[in-house]
A and B are shown apart, each in its own frame.
Chain A
């Protein structure tokens, strides 16, 4: 079974600082990778996803992530954070189950607090 590790539980940054959130997964097969964001009191929203092709993926709101196969990593980056980026960020790995459905395994999340 696959697992996803997000190493930082809580990250605190000042506005305009650069962000990098780590995500490592353990899965031997073909992986599909996702980052979701959850703003306070809201549901999960898709930030970006990787299925194949260019390992540098650009998402919404200026976020990007790089898939490094040799390191089993899919780190999320943003060059300059804003107060509105305060949220919890979840990395997820997708795989096909035996019943033909597609399942996600989530990391435990990283809370980002941006100080104005």
Chain B
């Protein structure tokens, strides 16, 4: 258990509406990540954060923005949701042991955009 919670766990929304997903961690990790999981694509990185107010884009960042105003929370916003953003969204933290980094995942948020 990596002390990660995600909210909401399920959401149905309509095309064109903004949506914000929250990832909360309790272990004070510096690095946090947002992935989306789609059948046949595995997990793809959307955005990541390497500290408070420090974020960068991943492989599939178009249509998404993130914010990290405090260490424990990493927010993912779909600025104007589209049906192609229907997916399962996973947050992850990176836990390091010396030079070895291992990512651990939250329970996921299932988003349906109608």
Which residues of A are in contact with B by a Cβ distance under 8 Å?
A: 4, 32, 34, 36, 42-46, 49, 51, 90, 94, 97, 99-104, 106-109
Contacts and interface: CB of A to CB of B under 8 A. Distances in A.
A32 B107 CA distance: 24
18 contacts: A42-B107, A43-B90, A43-B106, A44-B43, A44-B90, A44-B105, A45-B105, A46-B102, A46-B104, A90-B43, A94-B103, A99-B54, A100-B50, A101-B56, A102-B101, A103-B33, A104-B43, A106-B43
Contact of B94 (A4, A51, A101, A109): A101
Q: Which of B41, B58, B94, B101 has the most chain A CB within a 10 Å cutoff? A: B101
Nearest to B97: A51
B109 to A, nearest CB: 10
Given A44-B90, A94-B101, A101-B48, 11 more contacts: A34-B103, A44-B105, A51-B99, A97-B56, A99-B54, A99-B56, A103-B45, A106-B43, A108-B40, A108-B41, A108-B42
Contacts of A42: 107
Contacts of B44: 106
In which size bucket is the chain B interface?
20 to 34
Interface in B46-61: 48, 50, 54, 56, 58
Nearest 6 pairs of A and B residues by beta carbon: A102-B101, A106-B42, A108-B42, A44-B105, A101-B50, A106-B43
B56 A104 contact: no
B11 to A, nearest CB: 16
Contacts of B34: none
A100 B51 CA distance: 11
B74 interface: no
Nearest to A102: B101
A108 B90 CA distance: 15
Nearest to B96: A102
A44 B90 CA distance: 9
A109 B35 CA distance: 15
